[in-house]
A and B are shown apart, each in its own frame.
Chain A
C-alpha cells in the first residue's frame, strides 16, 4: 500500500515503513536499545531525504524513550537531579546541532556528515559489542574487568560548580554531566539518535554513577532532548513528517511487544552477536556508499 508523506512530498510503501518500525521495535524490546541508529540509515536507504529522516526520527526517539523510562521509574531507578543537569547541557547541544545541520545542508555536506558519523559510531560500537559477546560465548569464565571511574582523576576533581547528587551518592562538578549532555544533544539534533549507547558507558566510567541508575536517567533526559529537537526541526527546518512518524511508531509498538516476548526464547550473548553483526553490516554498507565510485557523480536537489 502506497502512502503519501505530506511533508516529504513523496509516496512510500507503507508496509516497508511499518516493517522497519517493527524490526527496530523488536530490537528495542529484546536488547533495550533505542534503535534510532538503525532507523535513520534505513530510511535513507529507502530514499527518504536525510533531513526528513533525522527530523522525524527525533519524534520516534521520544516515544521509545518514554516506554523505557516508565519501566525504570516504576522501579525507582532514575536520578532526577542528574537528568536535569545533563538536560541543561543537552539543550545547548541541540541548538548547536540544529545550527550545524542547517549549515551542512546548505553547503551540501550533510549526507557526508551523517554517513561518516554513522560509519564511525556504528563501526566502533558494533565491533566492540562483537568482541565482548564473542568472549562471553566462547570463554564462559570471562568477566568484564571493573574500571575505576574517571571522576577521581585530578582533572575532574578540580572542576568548579560542584553539586551533590544524593541519589547517585556523588559530589562532582556539574560541568561533567552537562558536558556529556552537550554531546548527546548534538548527536540527537544531527543524527536523530538519543546517543544512549555513548552516554551510558560515559555515565558509568566517567561520572561513576551506579549502573542501575544509568539507563533510566539517560532515557529521562533523552525524552526532553528528543522533544526539543523535534520542535526545533519542525520550526526551523520543517522536516518532521507526522505520517512517517505514525507509521514508524505503530510498527514500533507491535515490534517491541514481540521483542519482549521473544526475550524468553533468546539467549543473551548469541543474540548480541547477531545485533553486533547487524550494526557492523549497516556501518559497512554506509562505508561502501562512501568509498565505492558512485553510479552517477552528479546529484540534483531543490534549493
Chain B
C-alpha cells in the first residue's frame, strides 16, 4: 500500500494537479426533479478560486436538432416557405462572466451567445446562415431557453464566488453540463466541470415513461379514462 500513497503524494505536488486545485466548484444540487407541480427553480454554482483571474461559467442543456422555419407571404397568407436544420443545438444555454473576455477565448469555449456554434445541415451563404442563426437565438430567447444577457458572478468573499442560474419550467430534460473557467488574460488558468441531471420524477415521470415504453397500453388507458369521464358526466346529469 505504501508505494501507492507515496505516488499519490508525488502526483499531488506536480504542477498540473496543483493547477486543478486553483479552481473548485460545486452545484447547489446535482439534479433537478420535475414533478407535477414544477414551476422552475434556481441552480447555484459555488466556486473557490485560489488565483486572480476572470471567472466565466457556461450551462448547456442536452443537444438537439432544431428546425428553423421562415414564413413568407403566399396568396396573402403567411406560411412556412423555407426551413433550415441545425444540428447539436444546446436545448438550454446560459452563461455568466465576471468581466469581459478575450474574444478568441470566448469563441473557443462557447462563452456568450455570439460564441455559440451551430451546425447547419446544408451549405448556406454566409448571409443566410447568419439570418437563420440569429432567428434561432431570438426564438430560443423568447421561449426562455437562452438568456437575453449573461448572469453576474457575485463574489461572496475574497476568492469565493457564486452564480445563480434561474431555470424555467419548460427546460428540456436530460444531462446538463456546467463548465467553469478561471481566465488569466487570454489563457485558461484552470477549469472545472460538473453535470446536472434534469428529469421528470414521481407521478409525472411514471406517465412519461409509460407513454413511451407501453404506447398502446397508454392509449387504451387514455380511452378508458375518457369512457369513465363520459359515463360519469352522464350519471351526474341524469340526477337532474
Which residues from chain A sit less than 8 Å from chain B, CB to CB? 1-4, 6-7, 9-11, 25, 29, 59-67, 70-71, 108-109, 111-112, 116, 226-227, 230-235, 238, 240, 242-243, 245-246, 249-250, 252-253, 256-257, 260-261, 290-294, 296-303
Contacts and interface: CB of A to CB of B under 8 A. Distances in A.
Given A109-B79, A227-B226, A300 B173 contact: no
A69 B225 CA distance: 17
Contact of B208 (A7, A71, A232, A260): A7
A243 to B, nearest CB: 7
A111 B80 CA distance: 9
Interface of B: 34-40, 64-73, 76-80, 83, 85, 91, 132, 135-136, 138-140, 142-143, 169-170, 172-173, 200, 204-205, 207-208, 211-212, 215-216, 218-223, 225-227, 229-234, 236-237, 240
B61 to A, nearest CB: 12
Given A67-B230, A257-B236, A303-B65, A242 B221 contact: yes
Contact of B38 (A4, A243, A253, A256): A4
B70 A242 contact: no
**Per DSSP, are chain A's interface residues mostly helix, strand or loop, or mixed?**
helix
A66 B218 contact: no
Contact of A303 (B37, B85, B208, B218): B85
A300 B237 contact: no
Contacts, number: 201
A231 B240 CA distance: 34
Contact of B236 (A234, A253, A292): A253
Nearest to A240: B222
A2 B39 contact: yes
Contacts of A261: 240
A65 to B, nearest CB: 7
A111 B64 CA distance: 22
Given A6-B208, A7-B211, A298 B230 contact: no
The 7 closest A-B pairs by CB, nearest first: A66-B230, A234-B219, A298-B135, A11-B169, A62-B226, A300-B139, A231-B219
B58 to A, nearest CB: 20
